[in-house]
A and B are shown apart, each in its own frame.
Chain A
Amino acid sequence: EVQLLESGGSLVQPGGSLRLSCAGSGFTFSSSAMTWVRQAPGKGLQWVSTISDSGDRTYYADSVKGRFTISRDNSKNTLYLQMSSLRVDDTAIYYCAKATGTTSNWFDPWGQGTLVTVSS
C-alpha cells in the first residue's frame, strides 16, 4: 500500500523558515515525481511545487518561487519543502502527493497533511 507521511509543520513567525518532510513507502520512490499542494483554512487547493523522479527538474507556483525549495533524497525515500521568508498567507495544510503521468501529472495518493501556521 502506498503511504505518504508528512511532518515538520508548526507555528512560525512571519519572515521565518521551516522545512517540511514527506516520507514515502509502498512504492518505488525514486521512480516517482512528487508534489506539494496546500490548502489554507476553509479555502481550496493550491498547487505549490513538483519535482521530477531524479530531482533534476523542479516547478513552482509564482506565489512561492524564490522563497520555497523542493528537493528529495531518494536514498531516504523522502521529499522536502524548504520554506523561507514565510508570510501570513502561507498558513495552510501542506499535503504531499505522488505525481503520475508524463507531461501532465495527476496526484495520487495524498498524505494526511501537515499544518503550517505563520503568525506573530
Chain B
Amino acid sequence: SYELTQPPSVSVSPGQTASITCSADKLEHQYVYWYQQKPGQSPVLVIFRDTMRPSGIPERFSGSNSGNTATLTISGTQSLDEADYYCQAWDSYIALFGGGTKLTVL
C-alpha cells in the first residue's frame, strides 16, 4: 500500500534552515500538505498544494515536491517552530499521513 515516509526527528540550530522530507513512490504526482502540531495543541496547516502558504503562516515556511520526495523547508528557524510536522497526501480517495517528524531547535 502507499505510504508516506518521514524521518522521526530533525534537529536545527536557531536561525538555520530546517528541511523535513516526506517520501513515497512518484509522490510528485500527488499534492502534498504539511501540518504543524505543538504539544497539547491541534494540528495547523502550514503548506497546501505542495508550495502554497495559508494566510497567517510566516514566509519562512516553504514547500517543494519533486520525484519521490516532498520537502518542508523552514528558513531562519525559530524556537517557536519546535513541533511535530506531518505530511499528508491522497491515494485513491484515502488520505494518508506520514509518521511525523519531531523538529528540535537547539
Residues of A within 8 A of B (CB): 35, 37, 44-47, 50, 59, 61-62, 95, 100-101, 103-113
Contacts and interface: CB of A to CB of B under 8 A. Distances in A.
Q: Which of B90, B95, B99 has the most CB of A within 10 A?
A: B95
A11 to B, nearest CB: 20
A101 B94 CA distance: 14
B94 A47 contact: yes
A59 B48 contact: no
A70 to B, nearest CB: 13
A44 B43 contact: no
A104 B94 contact: no
A45 B35 contact: yes
A110 B42 contact: yes
Contacts of A37: 43, 97
Interface string B16-41: 00000000000000110101010000
A35 B94 CA distance: 12
A53 to B, nearest CB: 16
B97 A44 contact: yes
Contact of B100 (A45, A61, A100, A109): A45
Contacts of A47: 88, 94-97
Given A45-B86, A45-B100, A110 B43 contact: yes
A95 B93 CA distance: 19
A66 to B, nearest CB: 15
Contact of A105 (B35, B43, B90): B90
Contacts of A61: 94-95
A119 to B, nearest CB: 22
A104 B95 CA distance: 9
Contacts of B86: 44-45
A110 B44 contact: yes
